[in-house]
Every structure is written in C-alpha cells, then in structure tokens.
C-alpha cells in the first residue's frame, strides 16, 4: 500500500511522516535535509544550536556558548535551516522544533521563522502564545500535546487571542523519547497509551476544522503507521 500524501496548511508531503526533532545535537541539518529530500518533513532542533557552529558564537574558556543568545544562536539556526533546505533539494519541508521550556522561547521561535522554516513544532509545555511570536510570517504551527484537554485549551486560546488555529497537532504517547507530558507512573496505564488517547484527540480535533493529527511515540514501522 502506498501511504497517502499529507497536507498541512500550504505544505504537501509526498511521504506522510514528520521526523521528530531531537535535541541537543541529534537532529541538525543533515538528518532533517535527508528526510525532507525523501518527501517527508525533516525537523531540526532549535536547542543548543551554538554548539553546532561554535565559530558563530561567543564562548567561555571551556568552549561553551555564553548565555541563551549564544546557546540557542540565531545565526547558527539560520545556517542549519538554510543548509537543511539546500540538502532537501526543494522536496518535503523543513520544520524547527522549539521546546516551550527553553529560555528565550519567543526570540528563538521568531529566529526560526526568519530563518525560513516551513513549520514550527513546539511542545514540552503548552505553546499558548506561539502565534504571537510569528506575527507577519506565513508559517505552519504544530503544537505537541498528550491529551485532548491540552488540544482544546490551545485551540480555544489561539482562536480567542489570535484568530488562528494550529495547522496540525502532534499527539505524543508515552513510548516517545524526550520530554513528555506524563508522570512516570501514568506511562504504564492503559488510558495513557497512544491508542487510548487517539480517539479522544481525533474527536476534539474535529471541533476545529481540518486539523491533522500526527501520532508519535512507538510508531516505528510501516505496520505501525498503517495501524494508526
């Protein structure tokens, strides 16, 4: 079976897969560019970009970027996004993952938009003000949630404050890596498994128009993709 295309706002992906952003130092331009070149969405992490191109930032005597503006460097992110785009040869799309929890979140989101990212993917907290930081940019916004309740809150808030909605949403279950929206003990409960969360999130998504739901966490094979 051929997988169907995935449309998110203005983006059409021939391969309906979004590569998870992985910080620090895992998903940079080479991975994201290679994924996009296959027709999917490659995602670079905006966290710690100063470590990727140390020659662009101010460092202390141990070679560590100084402060948030050098750790999450605007110039380095710009270079990463541009190189990822070059590597993609115009196929797929390039997203930037920005963790809500980082210092300088608003500035880094704006940096990503200025760098020419096609989408911002944002979790590790509720990105309730995300639209505010990309004003004037035509960019897809994709929050990461782990419950229908979180999706509802985001949609209600964005609609009321910014008259816009997410272009898609990532539902991350407890098998995902990185920062999660679950307590450790809940990760093992049936009601928090991805297949239990999905129906209620799909139901909530229906209230907000053509909102695509992308599942993450334990979706590792063609069979897993087909199942979801």
Nearer to ligand FMN, 71 or 176 (CB): 176
**Of the candidate residues 68, 116, 125, 218, the single one contacting ligand FMN (CB under 6 A):** 218
By CB under 6 A, is residue 217 in contact with ligand FMN?
yes
**Of the candidate residues 6, 110, 176, 205, the single one contacting ligand FMN (CB under 6 A):** 176
Helices 29-37 and 74-88, interaxial angle, to 10°? 30
**Of the candidate residues 9, 16, 23, 42, the single one contacting ligand FMN (CB under 6 A):** 23
Residue where the block lists tokens 């449309």: 7
Give the nearest distance from C-beta 137 to ligand FMN in angstroms: 20
Give the nearest distance from C-beta 160 to ligand FMN in angstroms: 25
Sign of CA dihedral 25, 27, 29, 30: positive
CA distance 169 to 1: 25
Give the nearest distance from C-beta 217 to ligand FMN in angstroms: 4
Radius of gyration for the alpha carbons in the chain, expressed in angstroms and rounded: 17
Nearer to ligand FMN, 31 or 211 (CB): 31
By CB under 6 A, is residue 177 in contact with ligand FMN?
yes
**Could you give the C-alpha distances from 161 to 77, 120, 154, 157, 158, in angstroms and in order?**
28, 19, 11, 6, 5
**Of the candidate residues 21, 92, 143, 174, the single one contacting ligand FMN (CB under 6 A):** 21
Sign of CA dihedral 120, 216, 202, 148: negative
Omega prior to 71 cis, within 30 of 0: no
Residues in contact with ligand FMN by the rule CB under 6 A: 20-23, 26, 45, 47, 97, 99, 123-124, 144, 172, 175-178, 216-219
């Amino acid at each position: 079976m051929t997988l169907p295309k995935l449309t998110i706002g203005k983006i059409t992906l021939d391969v309906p897969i979004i590569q998870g952003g992985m910080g620090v130092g895992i998903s940079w331009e080479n991975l994201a560019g290679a994924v996009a070149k296959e027709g999917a969405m490659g995602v670079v992490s905006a966290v710690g970009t100063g470590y990727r191109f140390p020659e662009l930032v101010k460092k202390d005597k141990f070679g560590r970027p100084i402060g948030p503006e050098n750790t999450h460097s605007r110039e380095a992110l710009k270079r990463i996004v541009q190189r990822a785009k070059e590597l993609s040869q115009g196929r797929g799309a390039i997203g930037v993952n920005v963790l809500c929890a980082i210092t300088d979140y608003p500035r880094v989101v704006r940096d990503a938009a200025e760098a020419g990212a096609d989408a911002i993917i944002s979790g590790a907290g509720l990105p309730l003000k995300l639209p505010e930081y990309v004003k004037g940019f035509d960019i897809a916004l994709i929050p990461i949630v782990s419950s229908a309740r979180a999706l509802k809150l985001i949609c209600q808030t964005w609609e009321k404050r910014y008259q816009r909605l997410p272009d898609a949403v990532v539902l991350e279950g407890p098998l995902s890596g990185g920062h999660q929206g679950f307590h450790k003990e809940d990760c093992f409960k049936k009601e928090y498994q991805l297949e239990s969360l999905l129906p209620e999130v799909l139901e909530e998504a229906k209230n907000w128009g053509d909102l695509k739901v992308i599942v993450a966490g334990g979706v590792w094979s063609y069979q897993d993709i087909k199942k979801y």
